Every structure is written in structure tokens, then in C-alpha cells.
Structure 1
Amino acid sequence: MNFQYSFSRRRFLALSAAASSSLIMPGWVGKAGAAPLAAIKEEDAIIAFGLTGPVSDEGWNTKQNEGAKAIQAAFPKAKTLVVESIPFSADASRTFRQFVQEGAQMVFSTSNYGDFFASVVERSPEVAFLEADGRRVADNLGWYYAAHWHPTYVLGVAAGLLSKSGKLGFIASFPVPMAISSSNAFMMGARSVNPSATLQVISINSWFDPQGANQAASALIDNGCDFLFGVMNEASYLQVAEQRGVRAAMWSSDMRRYGKNAYVSSIIPDWTAFYVDQVRKRLEGTWSGGGQTLLPLGGGIDRDAWGETVPAEVAAKADAVREKIIGGWSPFTGEIKDTTGAVRVKAGETLDEVALYNWDWSVEGVSGLST
């Protein structure tokens, strides 16, 4: 299935219509009707992946590597290059340049490396580039991500029902839109069933720092939080939750074996179909830049199976919300206030997918993130 077009038509068209003013930075607008890049024989194809961490993290990078393996399985004559743990520094530019020098015709940047990536894209017009969590497009560049705020809201509902203290904790990497939208959706889901719930956020300035995540988890629990969530690429805070007798929800993979009593669920992206589809287009000569893709709930992003200690009635209530969202209902409808109490979304208004993707302010009840 081509996920670029399976996304809810109404939402995807709204996203595309708003993109020029909300998402695309000056100088990066692809030409209308730009010609696709030339076709490639499968045996000549080189597809490259730049990862933010080790493929063994059982989180984000494991899932990205699964996408690379799916490409290799679908196109066995092609060559796949995977480089792990690329730092957010000039070393990233060197790595992406090396991909081009080695003949890669398609490069996946599995995180937003900003100008470290952009400088290589601009100098390589014959190479197709795709950037996860990107904001820029060009004739040879598109971005992709997943509408993770929808399953996160569902997990927030479960958290609100399961928490005894009403104090929830969130371990964030950086105060970026991904973490802000995730923490906001989680808080809003929790408050839909527990209006007095609060969410304390600690940012550890890394996507992969087990020691930092451990320390943040312990601090949150010491402060009374009895449910942890976050966007880390490994299972450290789940292990702390298991040891301390609280619950936790995770990102990217089923990690319940690290804390079967604590584990509630996980946000699970599946990039494989999208990646295979993009490579197929590149080989066929039908791929062109400018694409902007958000994988939808139930079609590339979803919750994991519920943990064994989650009561059936909690799972049922949360899943009823999930079905409503899949059916077209949005939980991100006003009135929505920020942390100062100011109304940011008026009653009856709904945040569209562009606003959710670029969310840069925290909702009422969240503390610890810059807004």
C-alpha cells in the first residue's frame, strides 16, 4: 500500500494546502511539476540510511533498520548502506557526502539533521533525499514522519485511568516539536478522563542516553509520578519503572520483557511499506521531490498490544477512543489553553495536522518544556 496516499484524504489535502506557509522554508520549494529523477536498474541501485543511534537499541533505530532490511528483501539486487550513530555535528555532513560519493541514488536521513543534511542535498541534485521529521522540500528532497500524536493520545487516556496520583512523568530528548506534540497529546488524553492530571517533563538532551534516562525516571518517580512516558530510543526508564513499582509506556518497539509488570504499551511506527514504495518509485523513474508524508493511525503508526497488567476495562476505554480517531474524530479541538492559561485554540476550532506536526507550545498541565 502506498502510505503517502492512504493517509486520510481530508487530512492529507489540508496538510498539503497549508504546507507552503507552515512547513516549507524559503528557498526549498520544489518546482511545480518538477521532472522525476531518472530510472535506475535494480542491480545498479545503492540506497543509504543514516541512523541516529545503534541498530541494537530496540527502539527508533531498530525500526529504521527493519525498513532497510525490507528494502533489501524487496530489491535483492540493490545495495543498502546503513551507518549507525551519526552525531548531530559536521560529522553528519561528512557521512551524507560519503553516501553520495559512494554512488547512492537515494538517501534516507532518519532524523532532522538540519543544515548538516541540507548542505549535501543542495549539492547533489541527481540524488533523491528523504528526511524524517524534516521541514524542507526541494526537487530532490521530501520529508516524512508519522502522526504519532494520535496513538499517544490513546495511551494518555490509559495513563489517566491507571494513575493513582494523577502525576505523570515524561522523559524527552530535546524541547523540539516532536517531544512537545507527544507530551501535549499524552497530557490531553490523560485529562480527558482525569481533569486534574499533570505532566512533568525532563529533557536529557539526547535520543540515546540510558544513564540520563535512568536518572530522569528516578527523579520523576521521587516527585510522585506513577506513570512514565517518553521518546527515548531504549528501555532504560521502563526498567526503572519496573523496579519502582510504577507503570510506563514506550516508543518504537515492544519492550515489555524489560518490565512486564510496568509495561502498558508502546507507540509503534512501521516504516517498511513506505520505504519500499519510495525505493520502487526511485528505480522506476517516477520519484520526484517535494513529498510530505505523515503515516496515519492504523496505517503506519499505532499502539502496541496492551501489557498483561492493563485491566480489560482500561484497554476497552482507550481503544474506543482509538476507533473514534480512526473514524475521523480529532481530540485536538478547542478550547485548548497553554501553560499560562491563555486560550490557544478556541472552542470549536481544531488543530490540523500541520499545527500538530509543528506544535511548539505546551498545553495546560505540562511543566518542564520550553514553550
Structure 2
Amino acid sequence: MNAEIIAVGSELLLGQIVNTNARFLSQQLAEHGINVYYHTVVGDNDKRLKGVIESAEQRSNLIIFTGGLGPTKDDLTKETISRHIGKKLVFDEEALVSIKQYFARTGREMTENNKKQALVIEGSDVLPNDHGMAPGMVITVQGITYILLPGPPKEMEPMFLEYGIKSILSKMDKHERIESKVLRFFGIGEAALETEIEDLIEKQQNPTIAPLAADGEVTLRITAKHTSREICENMIAVVEEEILERVGQFHYGNDQTSLMKELVRELTARNIKIASAESLTGGMFQENLTAIPGAGKIFMSGIVSYTNEAKAKLLNVKRETIEKHGVVSEQCATEMAENVRSILDADAGISFTGVAGPEELEGNPVGTVYIGISFRDSEPKSFKLNFSGSREQNRVRSVKYGCYYLLRELAARK
């Protein structure tokens, strides 16, 4: 079964609301092995909606509509579809009673146009709306199944889970499911990683491998299809093992994790308290760290020392270090990391200093970054990076590399 999701509503095209319905429906359909090849958004216009339906019918045998089932004149989804498939709209008595009861419960007056929401396509299976007024409906015509769902997620999601998916599964001869696992990598580019596993990508069938790069990270999504979840997971595990044999040194976690989440998890497991000193990142490391639940167990505090004077006064960076080497230097980075750890009596300290942009500093080009790391029982280290992105990208990547270097140093201390 190949599905297409059509969201109806001019407010989506105007950017007034986000189409979260498509994501939800795609996730649900994937779990049952239903392919979703197209997402379409169309405004409240019957001619354009008709054109979208005709295109969808050429490539999909399951078309799911969200939105356009309300009481106003611009809610025209079921009207357009009913005309297109040659069916009348009729009142569903149960839906009409439910709508009247809703208004009675809320103490509001029911206007005449609200009855429109009880209209359904003749011959369709009606999907009750337990969280709103407009019912959904399912109808199959000439081998194509049309499902109409309300637009508000609080109505659409429970309706689909309780009634919609059951209707779809009843029409399927073979019930497959799709399982995915996301492998997350850092410290290697998308092109380099793809080169290492190029032969695996070229011969992929089931499972499939899909690379994706974003903000200096690379992910690989491994997707398997089978009727059994256990077999899907076993298929994914085989491919995962092959991939990690080649690029496992850059792998830091799976699925919805992040470098910062992994860092908090590792520091918590070892009961290591950390402090931070930030210049170019302006507190971004601390902000991202404290956004993770449980960070309070391992984060002592942080100091944002943006100016040279602040570095000297708040972090006790030697003035001779600043005069001789500059603040954009490994010497300054290591002093910042070591001193913030000592000042705040932490087990580990991390520092960020460099040139975020847009102008160079102390003769260093934009994107020059030093990260310092200090542990209570060892000599401090510094790492130099050269970025070529925007000011914001340089700051974001600095924080991610800080997490990466900390995780690497922690792994070496096991």
C-alpha cells in the first residue's frame, strides 16, 4: 500500500501553523509497513485541491486528507472529494447528535452552519470524533482508499489511532512494518563517511541506509521492512555492525540522543562535576548543558568572560599570557579551563576562546577556535579548530566539539 498525505489549509501555506500532522501520520504508517512517498499541502481552493487529488490518484492507492472538515465556507475537503468520486454528502445522525450535545455541554449556541460538520460522503465508514465535532470518514473507490481526518492534531491523532489505522489495516492483504535506527557520528564529514561505506549503500535493498548531515554531525538511518519487529531489528543489527566496524570511532550514540545528552550521561555515571569558561560562545555551552534534565548533578557553574579584562579578573588568566600569546591561543584556553575548574572546585573544566566573526582578532582569521580541557588529576589540554561558517555556526560547532573532546578524553580515562 502506497500512501500520500494531503494537508488542506491556506494557513499552512502562509506559515501560520506547522504541518505536524504529516509527520505524525508518516510515523504511524511506517510502523505498519505502509510506504509514504509524497506529502502535499494545498490551500482552501476546490480547483487546486481537485488537481492535487488527481495527481495523487496516479501514484498512490491510499490518500489521507487532513483539514477542511469544519463549518465555514472555506472548509471544502469533503465537498470537493465527494464531487470528484461521484458520491453525495448525507447527514450522519450520530455525528449530528454528538455536535448538538457538545454545544449543550459547553453552554454555547449552535449556529446553523455547524450542522455542516455532520455531513459525510455517502457509503463511507464514519470515524467518530471523540475530541471534537467533525467526524472523519473512509471510502474506497476503484481501488483507491480515501481517508478524511480533521485538521486539529488534538482531534486528528486520537481519531487515527483509535479508528483510522484499524480501517487501513483491514484493507491490507499483507501487514508489514517498518523499523528504523539512527546512528549518530561526529568528527567525520558526510562525504568521508559515505566513502567508507559506499559499497554498503550501493548494494542496499532491505535494510536501506540513508546518510544525512546537519550542523557538523552526520547521521545514518538504517531502515528495515518485515512483518516481524524482531526480524527487522535483527536485520538492522547486521548492517549496523558492518558500519561500525569501519567508522565506529566516530560513532557517539543512536536515535534521539545528542552530544550534550551523552556528555551529561557520562559525567553523571562517573560523578564528575564540571565547570565552564566561555568567551566566543557567550554561555551557549552552559545553556545547552542545563537544558538536559539531571544536569544539576554534574554542573557546578560557569563564567562568561568575553573581554580581556574579564578573563584576567574573573578567571585569573595571567596578563603576560594575554600580552604574549593573545586571548585566541592554546595558552589562554588551557589557563581558562584550569582556572575555572580550580575557582569553582570542580573535577573538570572546559573553556572556549576564539574568533566567532565577523572580523578577525589578534591576526587570527574568523573561525579560529581553541578549546581547553582540564581534569583535577592531569595536565590541561587544548584543541585548535578552524571553522569556515557563519558567526552562529562557529559558536554552535564550538560547543559540539567541546562535548566531543570531553567525551573522547573521558573514554581515554577508563
> TM-score w.r.t. structure 1 length?
0.26
> TM-score w.r.t. structure 2 length?
0.24
Name the structure, 1 or 2, with higher relative contact order (CA <8 Å, separation 6+).
1
Q: If you compute each CA radius of gyration, which structure gives the higher value, 1 or 2?
A: 2
Q: Which has a greater percent of helix?
A: 2
Q: Which has a greater percent of strand?
A: 2
